[in-house]
Amino acid sequence: MSYRKRSARWAEDRADYERSIGIPDREPIVDTRDVVPMDLRQHGGKNWQIEPRLGYTGCRVRDVETEAVEFSGTMKQCLRWLSRKLVHRMGARCLQ
């Protein structure tokens, strides 16, 4: 079974028709999630922030100094990525 791809003109025509019969447009999406600062410089990392992606359940990890997006995924994936980027150290108890 094949489907025809609908054009942008079709979408505008449908939106105009719906407005003409009294159906209001949808309100724009407002994302209420906050940016999570992750300043891990004291632990061998960088100053990152995890910011939500509008329209997705995922997030982006952004380097604060360079403003570059370094990773994109779900919150759990972002936290695991950050954990892998840190220097793993043995505790003082293990050295004795």
Please report the sign of the dihedral spanned by the C-alpha atoms of residue 41, residue 44, residue 70, residue 72: negative
> Does residue 83 fall inside a structural domain?
yes
> Does residue 46 fall inside a structural domain?
yes
> Does residue 16 fall inside a structural domain?
no
* Enclosing domain of residue 76: 33-87
The pLDDT assigned to 28 comes to 80
Q: How many domains does the chain have?
A: 1
Q: Give the integer Cα–Cα distance in Å for 45 and 38.
A: 9
Instruction: Identify whether the C-beta of residue 61 lies closer than 8 Å to the C-beta of residue 71.
Output: yes
> Does residue 70 fall inside a structural domain?
yes
Q: In tens digits, what is the pLDDT along the chain, a chain of 96 residues?
A: 677 888 888 889 999 999 999 999 888 878 888 999 999 888 888 899 999 998 888 999 999 999 999 999 999 999 999 988 887 665 666 666
DSSP code string of 41-69 = GGGT--EEEEEEPTTSS-EEEEETTT--E
> Does residue 79 fall inside a structural domain?
yes
> Does residue 4 fall inside a structural domain?
no
